[in-house]
Amino acid sequence: MISSLRDIRKTVGKTLLFTTTLLALFIIDTNFSTNASLPISTQVSLFPSQAKHSFITNTFHSNNVSPTPGITLSPFPTSTHFTETPTIPTITPTLELSPTEGIPDPPLFFIPLVYKQPFLEPNPIPPTVSQVLFCKYSNLNIPDDDPNGISDVIEVTDFRYITDIDIRVNVSHTWMGDLVIQLFHQPTGTNIVMMDRSGYPQTSDGCSGDDLIAIFDDELTNSIEGKCASILPSISGIYLPQEPLAKFINETISGKWMIKVTDLAKGDIGRLNDWCLYAEVSELLTTPTPTPFIEAVPESAMIDGVNGKPQAMPLDCESRSAVDWAAFYGVQVDEYEFFNNLPKSDNPDEGFVGNVFDRWGQIPPNSYGVHAEPVANLLRQYGLEAYAHRPLRWDQLRSEIASGNPVIVWVIGNVINGIPTYYQSSNGHITIVAKYEHTVIVTGYNAHQITYLNGSIQYTKNIDQFLDSWSSLGNMAITKHP
């Protein structure tokens, strides 16, 4: 029997302590038995009661917790026990206590909840890659039928690692099938054969044509072996070397680089005019990018419904091709509007170079045109899926056509051979340009030829000739797929 206010306070105090303990256990039980979302610290507050014969109702709920039986506690029991009443509690975020006058506030308490954060693997930072270009005007006569040949050296004082390397060679000679061209990196001893008597032994004397102006590049489709055009220069474009330049990857570019040109047959002479070493370099070693897998493509494919119009301005072939390509996918764009929305720059990889009404056949910084990246960027702004490639492999082009998607390609003229040239814009960016740069839309192929749209007219061309022309600007293209 409770005889005084003092006893009441003591009884209520014990009740509060017991209630607090039960509440803590309930919270912990709730945390481990449900998927409830709980705060980092759960605060429970008890307030003083004012009514003499009031009772404490403790109801705790967390978001998404299924209802559990409430616990009803009375501060004035007829016997010292607690009873559970299986009631469905009302959802409430706080603990409420009917006030009883004179009972002091018990202290607040906090139950910390610890969450284990998943371990995140940091993304590797790709190495910074820079372009470098070294060219030398050689003007060295190539002795006839002499295995010693002639050599020329470019010396580099840059200790970064090679991530990509290409070599441009300009040779005048009256019988290209006589020549072997090699590259040596003297500090390491690494060397490759870039060309070995083109056309030989397919023919007894090799290519009988004159002159070579070409870039050797591992990323291209077409091999230098057997090249021999009927026009001058007889070998021009960008080609796979006889042996891969990848042998030099991850060597430092520093030291002496030597080119050797040898004439191995009698009767013709020539001259090494000039050569260039282009490389992309990094402070760090790099892992070569694997060649993407392309499923086997059908032997032939043709896309119907690709229509075009003649270009409206002398140098806006890229805009004309772009709006014709967009129209195939149901997006109508005005040619003048598209051209006016292209960025302008002295770097064709960033914008249109020069005056669109100027004469055709020049190279930057003179009036020229624009390359794939700015055109693809603008097509995407019109809501199209468009991706620039340089290079796009021959198998990738055919795969795109076979899937029903025409491809914009950069060629020379009406698909003839071209002469690739390195060009450095005012911002230091190095790219390859060529006179009579032009765009057409490839719409079909078979085992022997490709079909393409040039303005409003559809043409066919021998595959080898197409690949030669397409190579001149590095197999540049725009496709619907990445």
- SS3 call for 10: helix
**Is the domain of 63 the same as that of 34?**
yes
On whether residue 289 sits in a domain, the answer given is no
CATH code, 316 = 3.90.70.10
**Is the domain of 137 the same as that of 106?**
no
On whether residue 124 sits in a domain, the answer given is no
Average pLDDT of the residues in 188-196: 96
* pLDDT per residue as tens digits for the range 236-247: 999 999 999 999
| Ramachandran sector of residue 102 (left: φ over 0; alpha: ψ -120 to 50; beta: rest) | left
Q: Which residue has the tokens 């078979």?
A: 446
Report DSSP letters for 370-412, one per residue.
Answer: --HHHHHHHHHHTT---EEESS--HHHHHHHHHTT--EEEEEE
Q: How far is Cα 380 from Cα 401, in angstroms, rounded to an integer?
A: 20
- How far is C-alpha 412 from the geometric centre of its chain's CA atoms? 27
* pLDDT per residue as tens digits for the range 424-471: 999 999 999 999 999 999 999 999 999 999 999 999 999 999 999 999
**Is the domain of 321 the same as that of 351?**
yes
- Tally the domains of the chain: 3
Last residue of a domain, one of 71, 86, 112: 112
**Is the domain of 276 the same as that of 308?**
no
On whether residue 69 sits in a domain, the answer given is yes
**Is the domain of 338 the same as that of 436?**
yes
pLDDT confidence tier of residue 124, bands split at 50, 70 and 90: low
Q: What residue numbers bound the domain in which 88 lies?
A: 5-112
Contacts of 375 (CB under 8 A, 6+ apart): 318, 319, 322, 342, 386, 388, 408, 478
On whether residue 295 sits in a domain, the answer given is no
**Strands, E assignment, 157-269:** 161-173, 179-185, 190-196, 212-216, 235-239, 255-263
**Is the domain of 318 the same as that of 436?**
yes
Compute and round to an integer the Cα radius of gyration of the chain: 39
pLDDT confidence tier of residue 348, bands split at 50, 70 and 90: very high
Q: Is the pLDDT of residue 68 over 70?
A: no
On whether residue 121 sits in a domain, the answer given is no
**Is the domain of 136 the same as that of 195?**
yes
Q: Which of 454, 461, 459 is nearest to 440 (CA)?
A: 454
Given a contact cutoff of 8 angstroms between Cβ atoms, the answer to whether 435 and 363 are in contact is yes
Q: Which residue has the tokens 């060679």?
A: 169
**Is the domain of 393 the same as that of 333?**
yes
CATH code, 239 = 2.60.120.260
**Is the domain of 437 the same as that of 337?**
yes
On whether residue 46 sits in a domain, the answer given is yes
Q: How far is Cα 364 from Cα 105, in angstroms, rounded to an integer?
A: 84
**Is the domain of 317 the same as that of 452?**
yes
Last residue of a domain, one of 282, 317, 342: 282
**Is the domain of 467 the same as that of 363?**
yes
Contacts of 440 (CB under 8 A, 6+ apart): 321, 408, 409, 411, 415, 452, 453, 454, 459
Q: Which two tokens stand for residue 324?
A: 């014709």
On whether residue 119 sits in a domain, the answer given is no
Q: Which of 301, 300, 299, 319 is nearest to 309 (CA)?
A: 319
Instruction: Report the share of the chain in percent with pLDDT over 70.
Output: 73
pTM over 0.85: no
Question: How are beta strands 129-142 and 109-112 bridged, if at all?
Answer: unpaired
Please report, in angstroms and rounded to a whole number, the separation of the first and last CA atoms in the chain: 86
Q: Which two tokens stand for residue 298?
A: 């059908």
Residue type, position 10, single letter: K
Last residue of a domain, one of 282, 310, 326: 282
Question: How are beta strands 146-156 and 255-263 bridged, if at all?
Answer: antiparallel
On whether residue 363 sits in a domain, the answer given is yes
**Is the domain of 427 the same as that of 454?**
yes
Q: How far is Cα 395 from Cα 412, in angstroms, rounded to an integer?
A: 21
Q: Is the pLDDT of residue 394 over 50?
A: yes
